[in-house]
Every structure is written in C-alpha cells, then in structure tokens.
Amino acid sequence: MSVKVKVLVVDDSAAERTHIVQLLQGRGYDVVEAATAFEALGVAGRERPDVVVLDVVLGELDGRGVCRMLRLSDMGNDLAIVMLTVKGHVKYRTEGLRVGADDYMPKPFDPDELDARISAAHRARAGRRQLNRQNADLAGRLAETKTRDDLTGVLSRRRFLELLPGEWARATRDRRPLSCALVDVDRFKQFNDRLGDAMGDDVLRRVAELVRGNLRNIDLAARFGGDEFALLLPDTPVAKACGALERLRGRLQADWTTRSFSAAVTLSVGIASSEDETITSPGNLIRAADRALYVAKRDGRDRIAVAEPFRRAKQEYLN
C-alpha cells in the first residue's frame, strides 16, 4: 500500500487483540489498539483511524454502543467499522448493522477473509467520501451560478436583490449614505445587430471588467438585465457616486478608442441615494435610480442623471 490504512483494533481480550494486531501489521496496515469501550473512543478521537475492527463484547459498554457513539461523532461518516463476535446468531449481526457497522464477522475468523472485509469496507467508505466531496463541489458550483452572471462574472440580479436589504439596513443603522447606480449600454441592440452576438458579449464583458476594476471591495456590481448593470455604493454620498461613475464612463471611452470598432460604446447612468429622505426602502432606491436612468436616456444618452432632489449635487461635482 502506498499510503497505509490505519486500523483501530478494539477487543477486551489481550490475547485476541494481540493476535489481530500482529495479523494486520503483517499485512501492511498501520494498527492502533484499545482494550475497553471508553479507551476506544479516546484512541479513535486522537488517531483518526480509517477502519475500526470492533469486538461486540467489551464489558461496561458493548461494541454496539461504541459503534453508535462513533457514528454520532464528527468522524462518524468517515469511519469503516467491522464488528467481530463469537455470537453468530442473526439477531446480533442485524443489531450491529443497524447501529452503523459496515460489516460483521463471526469468531473464529479466517485471516484472509478479515483482510478482504477490512479492505472492502474501507474502499466503500472512501468511495462515499469521494462522492460526498464531489456532491459538495457540485452544490458549490451550482450555488455560484445562482449568484454570478455566467457571461460577465459580476453578481446576478437575484443575488444583488438578496444583498440589497442588508446593505440598506446597515446604512440606515450607521446613518451613512448608500448610493445606487443603474448603468445602461447605449443602443446595445443596434450594436449587437450590426456587429454580431459575439462582439456584443465582448462589450458586456469589458464593461463588467471596467466596473469591477473601478469599485472598492465594499461595493456591489451586478448584471441587472440584458445590457444593464446595477451598482451599490455603501458609505457614498451622491456627489461621490457621480464622480465614480463619471470616471468609469471616461475609462470606457478611453478603452474603446484603442479598439478598432466602427461604433463607440457609451453609457447612460441613473443614480439615487438614501440621502433623499423620500426614499424609505431598498425598493424605492432601485426605482429612483431607474427613473433617473430613464431621464439620462431621454435626454440623449451618454450621460449621468441623478434622481431628484440631487441634480444640484451632481452640478456641484461637475462644476
């Protein structure tokens, strides 16, 4: 074996225990031992064996009780447990299996058969552990696909809306401003129709990259619709939000002049802030930013519009 399987042998008979220990050591196992039920629980906790070979008759707490307690411990799902007993009646075998044993062998046993059963129980448990890891990994990837947009890598709309109430509550509690921006890629459908879906995807990915690269760690960015992004800027008054989005638009323009496209990519932005006392909920914040985005597009696109009453704040920044 390249990596030795560790086996804990539990038997209250010193002679029987020594016999099993020497047998398994001779077959390449790393063996530890215990004579009583409570000693077995302590050794298992310290040594973290792969397999436990467990005699049913142990005195104050029998092997079935030990098996049950091991299964309830933090290593319970990782252990393979093979129970041994001179009590060969089917009743004892079924009781052992019901409390969590992987296998059951009567004494006296054949050494080759014990070796084979230990190996089989260990393989079965290792297979289940691998399957559990794969399932956990798959669950993690599935959860990630629900929280991230596949194309751009920013948050999904669903995840953004899940996080928004918590950010709103934090801003309200700390009496700090929370700004929200909705960003729309201007005339994206025409751009997409003229240059193709692949180029349109490239535009969205590049906008998302610039958004991520120009935000702080505490900020949130999401793909809110086909060609629309949502940004949440904690601890950011509206004037600073305008500055951040103006810089983003400038960097996009500079980025696109270095690319050989027949059409420039511009952004329309609508911004709203919790500083507005008429905005009393997260939903109101999103709706106010959406109304401001409508104004930006109505007034000619390629600009920032701020939800009332903050247009003056924007002018102060721009001046």
Which active-site residues does the annotation give?
A: 227
Is the Cβ–Cβ distance between 269 and 181 less than 8 Å? yes
- Amino acid code (one letter) for 34: A
For the chain, report the end-to-end CA distance as a whole number of angstroms.
Answer: 76
The alpha carbons of the chain give a radius of gyration, in whole angstroms, of: 33
Q: What b/e string do you get for 134-165 counting C-beta neighbours within 10 Å, with b at 16 or more?
A: eeeeeeeeeeeeeebbeebebbbeebbbebbe
Cα separation, 316 vs 1, in Å, equals 75
Q: Which long-range contacts (CB under 8 A, 24 or more apart) does 253-260 make?
A: 255/206, 255/210
Core vs surface per residue 68-107: b (16+ CB within 10 A) or e: ebbeeeeeeeebbbbbbbeeeeeebbebbbebbbbbbbee
